[in-house]
Amino acid sequence: MSLKDRITDDMKTAMRAKDTARLGAVRLLLAAIKQKEVDERITLDDAAVVAIVDKLIKQRKDSIAQFTQAARLDLADKESAEVAVLQAYVPQRLSAEEIATAVTALVSELGASGPADMGKVMGAAKQRFAGQADMGLLSAAIKRALTPAAAS
């Protein structure tokens, strides 16, 4: 069963259970998937669906930070609930230690030696770790790996 089919089944289950919070989050996800498919006239595979879920989670986390800063905890809680629903559709992520180890191996494999190689390493890392790692953690690990030890 594809991820998109699983999401559709979860929407039906939430409808039957009258779980409005979960239903709303799942419908937003399906709408984003459908929009992408219509815009690009393609059928999304699981990797593309995971990328959309990642994007939606990032948007929700940004909103949570802004709502918390504005003392709108009611809205922040609503966004947090949506993040919890969306998290179920992303595969298990690599830990920070696993990311650091993998980035160190990637940097030596590419022969990267300084901050000027950040783009080259990040491009390769995005391809290799798509859907497996949080891109923020990945970027931070690459910066640490490419920064000379004397500078820190």
* Cβ atoms of residues 104 and 139 within 8 Å: no
Report the alpha-carbon distance of residue 120 to residue 78 in Å, rounded.
38
Domain residue limits, the chain: 3-87, 96-151
Predicted confidence (pLDDT) per residue in 98-130, tens digit: 888 988 888 888 888 878 888 888 888 888 887
CATH code of domain 96-151? 1.10.10.410
pTM across the whole model: 0.75
Name the 3-class secondary structure at 69. Answer: helix
CA angle 79, 23, 70 (to 5 degrees): 15
Predicted confidence (pLDDT) per residue in 19-39, tens digit: 999 999 999 999 999 999 999
Q: Tell me the CATH number of domain 3-87, given options 3.40.190.10, 2.60.40.1530, 1.10.1510.10, 3.20.20.70.
A: 1.10.1510.10
Same fold, 3-87 and 96-151: no
* Cβ atoms of residues 71 and 93 within 8 Å: no
Query: Average pLDDT in the 138-144 region?
Result: 89
